[in-house]
Chains A and B, each alone.
Chain A
Amino acid sequence: MADPGETTISMDDLRALVRVAGLPLDDAELEELLPLYQFLKQRVDMLHEADLPLGGQAMTFPADWNR
């Protein structure tokens, strides 16, 4: 899934992540998941590398909230 030679995460890294998530996956399942995760990780890294304006999500009540 990831471009050849562009391995972004190892099987051991994935195993550790899965353990933290509390998912009881066996080695065969991890093998199946690894290329998908490698691809997703590239997409996630892309989001983190983007230069975004500071500021959180809108949590302000609109002024007319009680109308």
Chain B
Amino acid sequence: MAAPGELHYLTIGEAAPLIASGDLSPVELTRAYLDRIEAIDGRLDSYVTLTSDLALSQARQAEAEIRAGNYRGPLHGVPIALKDLYDTAGIKTTAMSRVTPDRVPDEDATTVAKLYEAGVVLLGKLAMHEFALGGPDFTSLFPPARNPWNTEHMPGGSSSSSGSGAAVAAGLCMGALGSDTGGSIRGPASMCGIVGIKPTFGRVSNYGVVPLSWSQDHCGPMTWTVEDTAIMLQAIAGHDPRDPTTADVPVPDYLAALRDGVRGLTVGVPREYFYEEAPGVDVQVIEAAERALEALSELGADIRDVEIPHIKYAQAANQVIMMSEAYSFHEANLKTRRHDYGDMVRNRFLLGGLLSASDYNQALRMRRVIKDEMADALHQADVLVTPTYASPAPKIEGYAGGTTLTQPSFTGPFNVSGLPAVSIPSGLSDEGLPMGLQIVGRPFDEATALRVAYAYEQAARFIDRRPPV
């Protein structure tokens, strides 16, 4: 997939055996990434903190360990980066906010500790929307990241893992962690033409990650290929005693069934809401999803329509739960120093203070109904398939803050239910901007969602085309 001399476009799956055999030096690889960040990130603003010294030190350590015969696995010596809400001991973690511009955590998030254990090299911390909400906002602590497919466009719409999407797509890291409360992993994955998974709620620890909505936050990886996402998910998944929301269930080998194909699997298609023309929905994303369904059918999957009767309420439930829980976390600061928040996120958080206990409870009741209905749909199908995002990436300039409230969300419903959902590229729009396909799995069955994603990725081959940066 990478041309000669383009180390930055190696996938993790390609680099790992070369690193293991000693044919690729983690130090050389890390230097290639640092050079590329230096050369082009001024146009993308995907990084907010670079950890060059740490990265080179970790790369040297990885190289020494591998030479000594202590190869840890496919992430050993692999340069990655983190959305700037993952706590990193001794490294600034700002959540992109003037409320916490100098915050330096004492310990690593569980996911970060697990990645270090797997031997990764940390290149730095990535841009996001302030406190993981809203859209691109020039009043936040750092400028918003830009989309490498067209720098006049945003990398994530209302989805906040914007720097993670931009950096992975532009070859500025081999993989990244994002977080997803209403679609913030899957949105940038869709708009940047990469892969991202929101695992099942409870599959990956949220300990040490700045919260937005405790009951809907999900941590997950973002990479160029499905295989790489599986590799990163393997490293971070599992029960964490420090996060009581994590489930004590076995973590399967995500690579084991990846190449098993889709023959014999049933793909459920929830046509209502996800495939309907509506204000804010670009018909191109629906057409791309329809083409993907045809491709999956040709690959041997059984395609079947399913119903989720209360689906039209899911976005409202997602937003009410999110705003209520976010307000709980930010209330004290909003009452004493609200002008330290950027304009967009401040208004959104303030709305949470105007919701009543009854509003919140009604959203929770709706969540229970939607979860049951999605479970029913997944009794009829192994996965559900929808478009990921309602449109390709919007332009940054002139982006209206309210858009994040009004545009239909195809991702938020699965934060409400907690089901695992992966986004993979489904093609380019007429404007040359990526679009995404969302594959939703049964609870704790990320493996089947990744298997379907891999089959479509290999058939469609959108991974062969990189952004023009």
Interface residues of B in 402-416 (CB under 8 A from A): 402, 405-406
Q: Is the CB of B405 within 8 A of A47?
A: no
Q: Is the CB of B350 within 8 A of A40?
A: no
Interface size on A, residues (CB 8 A): 28
Say yes or no: A52-B351 contact (C-beta < 8 A), given A46-B313, A46-B316, A47-B320.
no
Q: Mark B336-379, 1 if CB is under 8 A from A, else 0.
A: 00100001000110110111001100111110110000000000
Say yes or no: A43-B354 contact (C-beta < 8 A), given A36-B405, A48-B362.
no
Interface contacts (Cβ under 8 Å), in number, total 78
> A16 CA to B338 CA in the complex, in Å?
19
Select which of A1, A18, A32, A55 is within 8 A of B406 by beta carbon. Answer: A1
- When C-beta atoms are compared, the residue in chain A nearest to B369 turns out to be A52
Q: Name the prevailing secondary structure of the B interface residues.
A: helix
Select which of B350, B366, B406 is within 8 A of A50 by beta carbon. Answer: B366
Cβ of B465 under 8 Å from chain A: no
- When C-beta atoms are compared, the residue in chain B nearest to A20 turns out to be B354
Select which of A24, A47, A53 is within 8 A of B316 by beta carbon. Answer: A47
> A48 CA to B359 CA in the complex, in Å?
7
> A42 CA to B253 CA in the complex, in Å?
45
Q: Is the CB of B320 within 8 A of A35?
A: no
> A32 CA to B342 CA in the complex, in Å?
13
Interface residues of B in 103-131 (CB under 8 A from A): none
> A37 CA to B406 CA in the complex, in Å?
12
Which A residues are in CB contact (< 8 Å) with B347? 32-33, 36
Say yes or no: A47-B313 contact (C-beta < 8 A), given A35-B402, A57-B364.
yes
Which A residues are in CB contact (< 8 Å) with B320? 40, 43-44, 47
> A64 CA to B270 CA in the complex, in Å?
35
Q: Is the CB of A47 within 8 A of B363?
A: yes
Cβ of B315 under 8 Å from chain A: yes
Which B residues are in CB contact (< 8 Å) with A23? 334-335, 338, 350, 353
Interface residues of A in 1-57 (CB under 8 A from B): 1, 14, 17-18, 21-25, 32-33, 35-37, 39-40, 43-44, 46-48, 50, 52-53, 55-57
> A48 CA to B360 CA in the complex, in Å?
10
Say yes or no: A47-B366 contact (C-beta < 8 A), given A22-B335, A36-B347, A37-B351.
yes
Q: Is the CB of B355 within 8 A of A39?
A: no
Which of the listed residues A21, A23, A36, A47 has the most CB atoms from chain B within 10 Å of its own CB?
A: A47
> A57 CA to B338 CA in the complex, in Å?
33
Q: Is the CB of A44 within 8 A of B350?
A: no
Cβ of B319 under 8 Å from chain A: yes
Query: A34 → chain B, closest Cβ, in Å?
Result: 10
Which B residues are in CB contact (< 8 Å) with A24? 335
Select which of B316, B334, B335 is within 8 A of A43 by beta carbon. Answer: B316
Residue ranges of B at the interface with A (Cβ–Cβ < 8 Å): 310, 313, 315-317, 319-320, 323, 334-335, 338, 343, 347-348, 350-351, 353-355, 358-359, 362-366, 368-369, 401-402, 405-406
A-B contact pairs, 14 of them (CB 8 A): A23-B334, A24-B335, A25-B350, A33-B350, A35-B402, A39-B405, A44-B320, A44-B362, A46-B313, A46-B316, A47-B320, A47-B363, A52-B362, A52-B365
